Chains A and B, each alone.
Chain A
Amino acid sequence: MNSNDNKYLRFARAAALGSIVASVIVVILTIGGEEWKPLKDALKTAFTHHWLGKSVISIAVFGAVFLFTAWKATDVQKTVRALWYAVGTAALSAAVMTLYFILHALGLT
């Protein structure tokens, strides 16, 4: 079977890309919200709680990226690359947010 015929290959790449963008958005909203209070307040106003806002926006971003990219032709190499980037982005996002909250608690941000 030609790899391009495998719709799940496209879906896997789309999920990886969605995960990458959602991870970046979570980091931006989290650190941005702490550093710029109007952003956190806007999330609270729109979603009743800033964390709910981040949850809804991350799901929406993941869904939008998935729908936008799931129908584009791909191959194994592109999908593998996207999956590895998803691993790197998630690990880096987790490290950046944790480091930020350590520095924030120490009063260094």
Chain B
Amino acid sequence: MSTILASALILHIVLGLVGLACIHFALMQLIRREPPYGFVVKASFSAVVFLLLSWASGAYYYVTYYGNAVKPRILDSAYPWAHQVIMESKEHVFLLIPFLAIAVWLSSLALRKNDNVNLKTAAAAVAAAALALGVFVAAAGIIVSGAVR
């Protein structure tokens, strides 16, 4: 693997995890009785940025390297399901997460101007959904990496 590809993979993982941490920070504040919306806005906006950057770097690695070099090794290993189920699910579930993060960010901007308990609860639910799907994707990445070795 070239240095550029290795960097793209590392960036994909690190940026994705930082994005998840940001959405987690936003969620932890949104479930408070009186959230600091300025912080929630910053955390959720950061989550959007990090997730989009993780999407871009992951796309470069996945499209230029994974299919030709990694996928055949997994399919020939004792764990072909790691690609057939885990990677296939991971790469497609990932596509849902940045849009949810954008909804959290814009909801927190709305809440800053118009605090409402129902809106706060719904925004927290969207953040929780984004976090849950993100944890699923991260765990799937660990399983796929393990299957390559």
Query: A interface vs B, CB < 8 Å?
Result: 1, 3, 6, 8-9, 11-12, 14-16, 18-19, 22-23, 26, 30, 48-49, 51-52, 54-55, 58, 62, 76-77, 79-80, 83-84, 86-87, 90-91, 93-94, 97-98, 101-102, 104-105
Contact = CB atoms under 8 A, between A and B. Distances in A.
Given A23-B99, A52-B63, A54-B95, A3 B88 contact: no
Given A79-B119, A80-B121, A83-B125, 6 more contacts: A9-B114, A11-B106, A49-B63, A54-B95, A58-B99, A80-B116
Contacts of B106: 8, 11-12, 14-15
A14 to B, nearest CB: 8
Interface of B: 55, 59, 62-63, 67, 80-81, 84-85, 88-89, 91-93, 95-96, 99-100, 102-103, 105-107, 109-110, 112-114, 116, 118-119, 121-123, 125-126, 128-130, 132-133, 136
Given A83-B126, A98-B89, A12 B95 contact: no
Contact of A51 (B63, B126, B136): B63
B119 A80 contact: yes
B142 to A, nearest CB: 16
Given A49-B63, A51-B63, A83-B122, A101 B107 contact: no
Contacts of B136: 94
28 contacts: A1-B114, A3-B114, A8-B107, A8-B112, A8-B113, A9-B114, A12-B103, A15-B99, A15-B107, A23-B99, A30-B92, A49-B63, A54-B95, A55-B55, A62-B99, A79-B107, A79-B122, A80-B118, A83-B122, A86-B99, A86-B100, A91-B129, A91-B132, A93-B93, A94-B96, A97-B93, A98-B89, A101-B89
B114 A19 contact: no
Contacts, number: 137
A71 B124 CA distance: 24
Contacts of A22: 95-96, 99
Given A51-B63, A90-B133, A104-B84, A84 B125 contact: yes
Contacts of B81: 105
B96 A23 contact: yes
A83 B107 contact: yes
A86 B122 CA distance: 10
B96 A105 contact: no
Nearest to B127: A87
